[in-house]
Amino acid sequence: MSLISVFNKTCANELSKYGFQKLKGLACFGRIINNEIFQYVMPVNRKSLEKSKKAFTIVSGVFTVYSPALDKGLFENYGKYFIDFEFMDRLPHNDLIRLCDLSYDVSSIQTVIDQSIKGFISIMLPYLDQITTLNDYVSYCKRMNISLLRNAEKMWGDSILLVKTNNHDDFIDEYNSICRSVFGEEYNNYNDADSIRTKKIYYDAIIIDTALSRDKVYADKSLYEQAMQELERRKRNNIQQLQAYGFDVHKLFL
């Protein structure tokens, strides 16, 4: 049996207990929470270090019905970010090995898939269970990939969700957190030209492109109306896409 067929069968049995259902046409399982939050899990092929075997990684992520188009490319690309960065930084190695670069052959594929799904349920699912509202999602983006919240005036990524959730953060905490990751805990003691220049780059990206760009939308009635219209357009398109994936959108969104 193939990786995809074993994954689909195993997930259909195990993940349905947590509200996940298979997306038609994809080796991917998703669930919708509070009519707004979309969460998913899927395998992504990796190159195995063992020539006689194949490998995959379990990836997962979160979007909303207001995010840019919910499709396979978005799931795969963001899912890779989710596992490679978030969990590489936060989880013990023994946990990570249950989800990353899992090697298998014909004889071991079922065992490896079983282990990976158990890993997802014990490691990732508790994290996903905390993200149930739009405000939770904004906080998730701030921790995960803050660039998704940049350029609200250009309506890029998930930035206009800041307006919908009436967000007024100054993003200083996020700026300081990123600086610490670049310079270490004592980054404030770095005064050389390169450090100052690098700090300015992060400041521009986080403060100017996120908080100040969002505030321009608040201040401009025309931009604000465009942002609200864009959110509704995305929602309509994403509902159609979810319906194509097999979700009962009428039951969910009416």
Confidence category of residue 115, pLDDT binned at 50, 70, 90: confident
41-54: buried (b, 16+ CB within 10 Å) or exposed (e) per residue? bbbbeeebeeeeeb
The answer, yes or no, to whether residue 90 has pLDDT greater than 70, is no
In the chain, which ranges are E strands? 21-22, 29-33, 37-46, 54-64, 102-104
Which of 70, 64, 125 lies closest to 253, judged by CA? 64
- pLDDT tens-digit profile of 192-214? 666 666 667 777 778 888 999 99
**pTM surpassing 0.75?**
yes
> Bridge partners of 104?
54
The answer, yes or no, to whether residue 113 has pLDDT greater than 50, is yes
Strands 29-33 and 21-22: antiparallel
Rounded distance between C-alpha atoms, residue 177 and residue 157, angstroms: 22
CB contact at 8 A, 202 and 178 = yes
77 contact partners, CB below 8 Å, separation of at least 6: none
CA atoms of 54 and 15, how far apart (whole Å): 24
Q: CA–CA separation, 221 vs 214, rounded Å?
A: 13
Lookup: tokens for 130: 């905390």
3-50 pLDDT per residue, tens:
889 889 988 889 999 999 999 988 899 999 999 999 988 888 887 777
Taking residue 191's Cβ as centre, other Cβ atoms within 10 Å add up to 7
Find out whether 247 and 19 touch, Cβ atoms under 8 Å. no
Reduced to 3 states (helix: H, G, I; strand: E, B; else coil), residue 64 is: strand
Strand-pairing partners, residue 21, are 30
